[in-house]
Chain A
Amino acid sequence: MPASVADCWWRPFRNVGTAAVVYVDMAPDAAREAVALTWLDQEEQSRRQRFRFDGARRRFALCRAALRAILCGQLGCPNQQLAFGASHHGKPYALVNGQPAPIGFNVSHGSVHGLIAFAAEGRLGVDVEERSPARDLDGLIGSVMGPEERAELASARGNHRLHLFYHLWTVKEALMKALGTGLTPDVSGFEIPLAMRRGKKTGIFRFPHIPTVRWWLEDLGNEHFAAAIAHELSPDSH
């Protein structure tokens, strides 16, 4: 691992209830990438080699090494004892000495920005996206937004419209990742709470098909990127 905290390419970003979010700087940096590589196990190094693009290799190495450092710190285990399994839908989970570890996490990266969210309890999902102007924003809106969301976006203009789209999209993707079923339910089949669509930073959400489960939503975006977290609330929380 890096010799000092100052050498780390990740840093605390936000606490969200009982979850914590870490920012990972994934800008090109050969020295950091070399250190990160030493933390990956054989399987991860092979996986990294299979990426065809330098950027994808870099993002995987930097993010996975940061994740390893965070989880080892939280679980109090050496890196060699930490491994990863994956659910049927591909959502990874941590193993220590082959046993599932008592921690949940989720990772997202877009371009040079990465976020890692983790919590001891409750499913969670995080998403980060750079707000790139889409070639066909109208088509995207028609594909992934519900009717009320489409109406909100129709009345927004210019840069605000782009920001609103990415705000809604990152919340939706964070929810889908938290649910852990991939992006399989139709994302236009549920809508982000009205208050959040209109600028509130937090909200509570229930999927129409599983109304007994509540999810805490929080906008994590800033001037550099759009981002959001979804964290499952325990049944007795208020």
Chain B
Amino acid sequence: MASTGDRLKTLIADNLEVDGQAIAVPENLDISLLEAGVSSVDLVAFAKLVARDFNVKFTLEHCTTLNSVKEVADFIDSQPG
């Protein structure tokens, strides 16, 4: 089964873009969606997708306080499965 990081990369590639371009998430997941320029509206939508796909409570607040995709992956992995 794909890792949480790989699943997040797919989710981002399929659903987010900035200036019409896909967001290339690096291998180490060290990228902030906010700093990449993802709009707040897209972050809300992304938070909903994460909550649904990983079956965890994940809100806009998580998107804005977790500083990188790596931190999002770590947060998801820390939730009871």
A residues with CB within 8 A of B: 50-53, 55-56, 59, 110-111, 127, 129-130, 132, 134-136, 139-140, 143-144, 166, 169, 173, 182-184, 186-187
Q: Which residue of A lies closest to B61 (CB)?
A: A184
Whether A110 contacts B39 by the Cβ 8 Å rule is yes
Interface size counted on chain B using CB atoms at 8 A? 23
Q: Which residues of B contact A166 (CB under 8 A)?
A: 41
* Cβ-defined partner of A134 (8 Å) among B19, B31, B41, B61: B41
* B window 1-50: CB within 8 A of A: 15, 18-19, 21, 23-24, 26, 31, 35-37, 39-41, 44-45, 47-48
Nearest-neighbor residue (CB-CB) of A50 within chain B:
B35
* 21 residue pairs from A and B, CB less than 8 Å apart: A51-B36, A52-B26, A53-B21, A53-B37, A55-B19, A56-B36, A56-B37, A129-B41, A130-B39, A140-B41, A140-B44, A140-B45, A140-B48, A143-B48, A143-B60, A166-B41, A169-B41, A173-B40, A182-B61, A182-B64, A184-B65
Question: Given A53-B18, A182-B61, does the pair A139, B40 have CB atoms closer than 8 Å?
Answer: no
Q: Are B45 and A56 in contact (CB under 8 A)?
A: no
Closest 6 CB pairs of A and B: A56-B37, A55-B19, A183-B60, A184-B61, A183-B64, A139-B48
Known: A59-B37, A129-B39, A184-B61. A53 touches B19 (CB 8 A): yes
A52-B35 Cα distance, complex, nearest whole Å = 9
User: Once bound together, how far apart are the Cα atoms of A37 and B76, in whole Å?
Assistant: 38
Q: Smallest distance from the beta carbon of B12 to chain A beta carbons, Å? A: 13
For A53, A135, A140, which residue has the most chain B Cβ atoms within 10 angstroms? Answer: A53
Which residues of chain B are within 8 angstroms of A184 by Cβ–Cβ distance? Answer: 61, 65
Of listed B31, B36, B37, residue having the most chain A CB within 10 A: B37
B73 to chain A, nearest CB (A): 18
Please, how many angstroms separate the alpha-carbon atoms of A233 and B48 in the complex?
Answer: 34
Q: Distance in Å from the Cβ of A176 to the closest Cβ of chain B?
A: 9
Residue on A nearest B60 in the bound complex, by CB: A183
CB < 8 Å neighbour of A111 from B15, B19, B36, B61: B19
Distance between Cα atoms of A176 and B39 in the complex (Å)? 15
Contact residue among B18, B23, B48, B59 (Cβ-Cβ distance under 8 Å from A136): B48
